[in-house]
Amino acid sequence: MAFLFPAGGASASFRFTYPDSLGVYGNIDDTLNQVVITARNTHEIAPVQSLSGEKLQKLSTFSVSDALRYFSGVQIKDYGGIGGLKTINVRSMGSQHVGVFYDGVQITNAQNGTVDLGRFSMDNMEVLSVYNGQKSAVFQSAKDFSSASALYMVSRRPVFEDAKNNNWVFRGKTGSFDLGNVSALWEHRYNEHVSSSVNAEFLSTSGKYKFRYSKDGGYDTTEVRRNGDVTSFRGEAAVFGKHEKFDWFGKVYFYESERGYPGAAVKKDYGISLLNEDRQHDRNFFAQSSFTYSGNDFYSLKFQAKYSKDYMNYIMPPHSTVQPANNKYWQDEIYFSAAGLLNLTDFWSVNISGDYQWNRLDAKGSDMFDANFSFPRRHTVLAAAATSARLPFGLSAQASLLYTFVHDESAKDMEVAPDKSIFTPSLILSYRPWKKLGLEFRAFYKNIFRMPTFNDLYYVQIGNRLLRPEYAVQYDVGAVYRKSFQKGVLESLDLSVDGYFNQVKDKIIATPTSNQLVWTMLNLGYVEILGTDVTASIGLRFGEFLLSGRLSYTYQNAVDLTENKKDEDLGEGVVNVYGDQIPYIPWHSGSVTMNCVFRNWDLNYSFIYTGERYMLGGNIPVNYILPWYTSDIAVSRKFTFSKFGMKASLEVNNLFNQQYEVVKWYPMPGTNFKIVLIFEI
Amino acid sequence: MNIRKNIIAVCIAAAFCSGISSCRKGDPVLPSEPVVVNPWDKISGDICGFYLLNEGNMGSNKASLDHYDYSTGVYTRNIYGERNPFEVKDLGDVGNDLKIYGNKLWAVINCSNYVEVMDVSTAKHIAKIAVPNCRYLAFKDGYAYVSAYAGPVQIDPDARIGMVVKIDTADFKIVDSCIVGYQPEEIAIVDDKMYVANSGGYRVPNYDRTVSVIDIPSFEETHKIDVDINLHRIVPDRHGKLYVSSRGDYYGQHSKTYVIDVETEEVHETMDNLPNSNMTLCGDSLYVYSNEFSYITKEWTVSYAILDTRTGRVVTRNFITDGTDKKIKVPYAIAVHPVTRDFFVSDAKDYVSPGVLHCFSKDGKRKWSVTTGDIPSNIAFTDKKLE
């Protein structure tokens, strides 16, 4: 998504683009290996929410970001349409505090620190989990400790029935926005140890949809979202090895896309206006492998390596804009990780891990840009020590200490940010007072930071190399109740409640300087967040009729306590915005999903609610944004033939055609539908 | 039948959810917000009040119009939407200039690419004139002139040259246009000549550094006056001089004020010590403030000065005398009441919070302050009462 830094008469205006990198692919994470609900994994003591397998596929979602809307404590920023930027924000700390892991390894974007989740297809996705704090598996890379919260996406890994050595899956989707989406998956078993998977997907959409703005007793306009088309191709190939004492994994990934950016739906005279015809072209490649040794009870070892290469080109064509631009960015990353787990006793283990990462950003733009761009390189060394103990009376504890060292260089010997050398701790506790009752209490504390990105530090003119890291401190207390029943109508019941307090310190903010045309980055903000996440899910069985429901609710009071927002002694005419709710964070939000299965039929209904909130500039009437709520419904039927299976589904999203915005002036689609056909051999 | 019961229950639940979904409350036209700020104020001379235009953050349709009424001492935020509920998306995106000509109020809406014309005594919409990337206004003999960044594409394929368009104020039609320099900003009119400050901000580091001179009767650029990089403001005084501001380059080249002699059309004086973000003339007093940011130090330097145009000398280096200047983070608009000489300085703060307007008595003491819209940028005094 192009986050547009205003172009203008006063500056070397250069559009500040937020390219996304599909950077990295990782090995299958051990704790997330199972297809069944992973939230029940007994090793996890940190707050986690997961959707997986069938449950995940039944939500009528197109991309990962759509599915994440059903999680509590999660806000998805969505600029609308299939091609619009979609980012995740967990517990209001900001999207750059969320580590996004794909198959176990973090996807990084050294340039801007944000990952566009709209690009991750649900096609081949097996598990989505969101962890508050960190994954509490202990045996993990240093990176797993290094963000304030983490999203783990795990793709499908081959499973073969009986004597079958090949699995084939073909999918086709079509529907609103002139969508055409096809994919094919081939999984092959070579022998009992080695299997492979090849997956390819093609997508094309015009991204066109109507949207309407109407005021009571005022204007009423219906426009068409234009320049939102996307064409993309994704290809993946992986080899999996599983032996008695070790397993290994290798993967290559390729993604290419070409898309338009419609921009904000601002007032325009379409007769003469400079239409937004910005285009973006992305190409991402990576290769990755891992090796895990778990041959004895005393210790385990894990090694990971990755190389990624990303290209992004952002074009503002001369005929559509006053200031044409054609910017190119190249990113490279090399990553190594080694982790060792020592099981000192049967209840006490220690993990030591060390990661090294190297990032490079090259760019080409205007002459002025090229002359002033520093061509940054970054060495990051992460070391983590963690220990986990499970005491007999029901108490589990995990403590970790992360050390981060960051050294930046400039290929042009320009001045860079000073080295960073930082220790950050975390502590997770869990207490299960009664063995038989599925009730557990938990608490965690975590102090972590995010490094300023290359854009924050070195973007020509705008960047500020003296930025300090932005810290997030979290305190959480909660309780979980989980129970499965063998008999009767009630099959399962899960409840969880968490209360939390977060502080975001030295928040990095882009701010205009002398005027709206000249911007810079500053460590200015301070935000406090007090919140509650509640989730409940229930499974019922009435003979052949299965019914399940899931509910999530989030309350957040996220206030901006930045010092310079204070206005004192200026009289009653001046509105105080110090302590107001931060932009785009609703006080109340939640979701309900209901699913009925009867024989081969499946009906899924989901409802999402986002309460009132404010856009930039304080909680005053002009910044007010109406609540929105959408209902999505999906019906599917399975057909089984002797050699193959088939599934057909019809999805209708935004059933009541609500006209809404997640980000002000980025209208979302009204009622839209999709038809999906899946063949499995 | 248990199953049937449950199916019914699901249907009821679904119906309930859909019930909520279908009756969302409507989106009202934003009401204006009146605030009594100074009931002791009164009309002096023929000044009944003023309009204030807020830029609003780019990409957010938040340009807005405020009004102050001297007869009641009431400041009213956001009057446009209420008075023009059928104007789609209100004023639009980024209000850049505001001027009154005759009984019309003109506003330049930069990123919505149009000029809005309203009735000065009702603030009701009269006409819209499409001008791509329009910036500033000037008037002369029944015509409005608007500077615009987006001139014809074909002249320079790498950077679009700027232009000034000529609009007939009787029928609001564009009658002519004239190519000037790159990214033209303010316009000054002296007799039959028009002077346009060209910034060239899109061409960094090759800023434009000229003032275009246009012969008004033929509406053609006759020549250019070389001044300095990144020009912005241009104000004529009563003694045959033009004051022009250079923004500098935010690195080593600082903002400065230049004085052009209209007679010789040459730079008469360079005022290194008068950095200039914005200025306004009242009689022979030129009020200048500067809010200069440096990419080297990452710091802002704010200053306020008054220059006597008779002598060309600075008479004060801080016209705010009561310490309020320390509370102003980003001075953004300046205006002087032509009769009482009360003056106004707005504060754009962090650009994403609502701004504040401060009113000072002529000796520089704060009288009152009020919250404005986002990024208060222009003030236009009016002799008509708002109905």
Q: Do A217 and B29 touch (CB under 8 A)?
A: yes
Residue B333 tokens, joined:
């608009």
pLDDT at residue B157 in the model:
60
Contacts of B251 in chain A (CB under 8 A): none
- Cα nearest neighbour of B3 on chain A: A542
Q: What percent of chain B has pLDDT over 90?
A: 78
Contacts of B57 in chain A (CB under 8 A): 516, 616-617
Residue A324 tokens, joined:
């044409």
Contacts of B111 in chain A (CB under 8 A): 266
**Does A523 score more than 90 pLDDT?**
no
Q: Do B204 and A13 touch (CB under 8 A)?
A: yes
Peptide bond preceding B205 in cis form (omega within 30 of 0) = yes
Q: Do A573 and B354 touch (CB under 8 A)?
A: no
Q: Which of A16-25, A126-135, A543-552 is least confident?
A: A16-25
**CA-based nearest distance B48→chain A, Å:** 20
* Average pLDDT over all residues of chain B: 90
Q: Which residue in B22, B81, B149 is closest to A322 by CB distance? A: B149
**Does A487 score more than 50 pLDDT?**
yes
**CA-based nearest distance B294→chain A, Å:** 9
Cβ under 8 Å to A: B residues 81-100: 81, 85-94
Nearest Cα neighbor of A232 from A189, A280, A193, A291 is A280
pLDDT at residue A195 in the model:
96
Nearest Cα neighbor of A400 from A129, A99, A105, A147 is A147
Contact by Cβ (8 Å): A454, A361: yes
When pLDDT is cut at 50, 70 and 90, the band that residue A40 belongs to is: very low
Please spell the DSSP secondary structure of A351-418, one letter per residue.
Answer: EEEEEEEEEEEEEE-SHHHHHH---EEEEEEEEEEEEEEE-TTSEEEEEEEEEEEEEEEETT----PP
**CA-based nearest distance A207→chain B, Å:** 20
Per-residue pLDDT tens over the stretch B296-345: 888 889 999 999 999 999 999 999 999 999 999 999 999 999 999 999 99
When pLDDT is cut at 50, 70 and 90, the band that residue B154 belongs to is: low
pLDDT at residue A65 in the model:
87
Distance of alpha carbon A473 from its chain centroid, rounded? 20
Rounded to 10 degrees, the C-alpha dihedral A179/A658/A557/A478 comes to -60
Q: Which residues pair with B293 in a beta bridge?
A: B300
**CA-based nearest distance B142→chain A, Å:** 24
More confident position, B132 or A273 = B132
Contacts of B327 in chain A (CB under 8 A): 567-570
Residue B387 tokens, joined:
């109905």
pLDDT at residue A670 in the model:
94
Q: Which of A36-40, A209-213, B154-158, B383-387 is least confident?
A: A36-40
Cβ under 8 Å to B: A residues 359-378: 366, 368, 371
When pLDDT is cut at 50, 70 and 90, the band that residue A270 belongs to is: low
* Average pLDDT over all residues of chain A: 87
Contact by Cβ (8 Å): A68, A76: yes
**Does A564 score more than 70 pLDDT?**
yes
When pLDDT is cut at 50, 70 and 90, the band that residue A42 belongs to is: very low
pLDDT at residue B1 in the model:
41
Strands B184-190 and B174-179 turn out to be unpaired
User: What mean pLDDT comes out for the span A626-655?
Assistant: 92
User: What mean pLDDT comes out for the span B18-26?
Assistant: 58
Give the HSE-up count for residue B283: Cα atoms under 13 Å, Cβ half-sphere.
Answer: 9
Q: Does B17 touch chain A (CB under 8 A)?
A: yes
So what's the ipTM on this one?
0.90
Q: What percent of chain A has pLDDT over 70?
A: 92
- Cα nearest neighbour of B247 on chain A: A10
Contacts of B112 in chain A (CB under 8 A): 266-269, 273
Highest-scoring range by mean pLDDT, A264-268, A500-504, B247-251: A500-504
Q: Which residues pair with A154 in a beta bridge?
A: A127
Q: Do A575 and B371 touch (CB under 8 A)?
A: yes
More confident position, A319 or A542 = A542
Distance of CA B72 to CAs A315, A371, B39, B372, B378, Å? 52, 56, 6, 18, 22
Contacts of A215 in chain B (CB under 8 A): 26-29, 85
pLDDT at residue A41 in the model:
33
Q: Is the dihedral of CA B120, B124, B129, B131 positive or negative?
A: positive
Nearest Cα neighbor of A457 from A375, A334, A524 is A375
Q: Do B351 and A511 touch (CB under 8 A)?
A: yes
Nearest Cα neighbor of B101 from B87, B85, B80, B115 is B115
**Does A371 score more than 90 pLDDT?**
no
Q: Do B295 and A461 touch (CB under 8 A)?
A: yes
- Cα nearest neighbour of A633 on chain B: B14
| A64-74 as b/e: b if 16+ CB within 10 A | bbbbbbbbbbb
Q: Does A266 touch chain B (CB under 8 A)?
A: yes
Best of A467, A513, A581 to mutate (most B CBs within 10 Å, chain B): A513
Q: Does B8 touch chain A (CB under 8 A)?
A: no
Cβ under 8 Å to B: A residues 585-614: 592, 594, 596, 605, 607
Q: Which residues contact B74 (CB under 8 A, 6 or more apart)?
A: B34, B35, B36, B37, B68
- Cα nearest neighbour of B75 on chain A: A573
Model pTM score: 0.89
**Does A38 score more than 90 pLDDT?**
no
More confident position, A194 or B6 = A194
Q: Which of A261-275, A458-472, B216-230 is least confident?
A: A261-275
Q: Do B25 and A626 touch (CB under 8 A)?
A: yes
Per-residue pLDDT tens over the stretch A315-332: 988 776 667 788 999 999
pLDDT at residue A46 in the model:
82
Q: Which of A90-104, B147-161, B371-385 is least confident?
A: B147-161
**Does A560 score more than 80 pLDDT?**
yes
**CA-based nearest distance A553→chain B, Å:** 15
Q: Do B6 and A540 touch (CB under 8 A)?
A: yes
| Side chain identity, residue B331 | P
Q: Which DSSP state fits A575?
A: P
User: What mean pLDDT comes out for the span A159-179?
Assistant: 91
Q: Does A578 touch chain B (CB under 8 A)?
A: no
More confident position, A43 or B340 = B340
What is the distance between the alpha carbons of residues A454 and A432, in angstroms, rounded to a whole number?
Answer: 44
- Cα nearest neighbour of B86 on chain A: A219
**Does A21 score more than 50 pLDDT?**
no
Nearest Cα neighbor of A67 from A57, A81, A80, A77 is A57
What is the distance between the alpha carbons of residues A400 and A136, in angstroms, rounded to a whole number?
Answer: 10
pLDDT at residue A623 in the model:
92
Size of the A and B interface in Cβ pairs below 8 Å? 258
More confident position, B258 or B297 = B258
Q: What percent of chain A has pLDDT over 90?
A: 60
Nearest Cα neighbor of B187 from B229, B238, B132, B136 is B136
Q: Do A665 and B37 touch (CB under 8 A)?
A: no
Contact by Cβ (8 Å): A578, A560: yes
| Side chain identity, residue B117 | V
- Integer Rg of chain B from CA: 24
When pLDDT is cut at 50, 70 and 90, the band that residue A124 belongs to is: confident
pLDDT at residue A18 in the model:
28
Q: Does B240 touch chain A (CB under 8 A)?
A: no
Please spell the DSSP secondary structure of B295-362, one letter per residue.
Answer: TTTTEEEEEEEEEETTTTEEEES-S--SSGGGG-SSEEEEEE-TTT--EEEEE-TTSSSEEEEEEE-T
**Does B85 score more than 80 pLDDT?**
yes
Q: Which residues contact B48 (CB under 8 A, 6 or more apart)?
A: B69, B70, B71, B382, B383, B384, B385, B386
